Amino acid sequence: MSDDARDQYKQWILSADSKSLLRQLNAEIKTPLISAQNLVNILQMMQNPSPSMVKKMESGELNPDSMLAEIAGFIGSVFDIIDFFRESLEE
């Protein structure tokens, strides 16, 4: 995000009403957390995989290492969003 876009977003945060802020936070936080939760569920299923899941694991379509990296990325982005909102509101 460019500096101008960040500044405009900060201004929006500071001027937005509570409902708009909550809708935005819901969209920016809930979506990546749902994606992370879905990946965790797949990793759990991989502990006792079905035959079709075994084929996907063997082909590399399901890769636990890349799934864990994606989960870490989703969680990191949520922390970044929370920090950005907090910093913007503390100014």
For the chain, what is the domain count?
A: 1
pLDDT in tens, 7-27: 999 999 999 999 999 999 999
What is the C-alpha separation between 73 and 25, in angstroms, rounded? 17
Biggest alpha carbon–alpha carbon distance for the chain? 55
Question: Given pLDDT bands bounded at 50, 70 and 90, which one contains residue 1?
Answer: confident
Output the pTM of the full model: 0.82
pLDDT in tens, 19-64: 999 999 999 999 999 999 999 999 999 999 999 999 999 999 999 9
DSSP string, 28-86: IIIHHHHHHHHHHHHHHHTTS--HHHHHHHHHTSS-HHHHHHHHHHHHHHHHHHHHHHH
Host domain of residue 20: 3-90
HSE at residue 16, side-chain half, CA atoms within 13 A, is 17
